[in-house]
Amino acid sequence: MLTTNFSNKQEIHRQTCIGDCCIITLDKHHHANGNLTAVNNGVELPFDIQRTFYIYDVPGGAERGGHSHYTCHEFIIAISGSFDVTVDDGKEKHTYTLNRPFQGLLVVPGIWRTLQNFSSGSVCLALASHHFDEEDYVRDYNEFLKLKGHGTDAP
């Protein structure tokens, strides 16, 4: 259970911007019988992986995500197919198209993320720095904007 008070939560959110999110290209080991890409704790990513989950069979037109985290970092990879990830810091937005299983998007705490435009058969793998904790989520965009110091009205 998180015990971070409101001012600490707001400070965490105010410190991050979409420029802190980036594509990380992992080593691809090519072999005649198939490629291999590995992710090791604390080596390729700036965090140790505490949770892994994947999203699949997303219906056409559906969106996933729609939240930010107080403390959790995520590394999002299109293991199969493609989808877009839009990151939003309350002032700016940027959309990344993920479609290579050896590249992923690092999303830092305090950034709103939405996943959309899933191709048929796509699989999204997320590697997270923390175990699931509902108290680490900001699921209301107006609350997110308030934490970022941008008021309470959504654009």
In this structure, how many other beta carbons lie within 10 angstroms of the beta carbon of residue 123?
17
Instruction: Say which residue, 87 or 151, is predicted with more confidence.
Output: 87
* R_g of the chain, CA atoms, integer Å: 16
Give residue-wise pLDDT tens across range 87-143: 999 999 999 999 999 999 999 999 999 999 999 999 999 999 999 999 999 999 999
Classified as helix, coil or strand, 96 is strand
CB of 37 within 8 A of CB of 29? yes
Domain boundaries 17-29+56-148, CATH class: mainly beta
DSSP secondary structure code for residue 82 in this structure: -
29 is catalytic: no
Tell me the per-residue pLDDT of 22-70, one tens digit each, with 9 for 90 and over.
999 999 999 999 999 999 988 999 999 999 999 999 998 999 999 999 9
This model's pTM is above 0.75: yes
d(CA 143, CA 97): 27
- Read off the amino acid at residue 91: K
Annotated catalytic residue, options 13, 30, 31, 67: 67
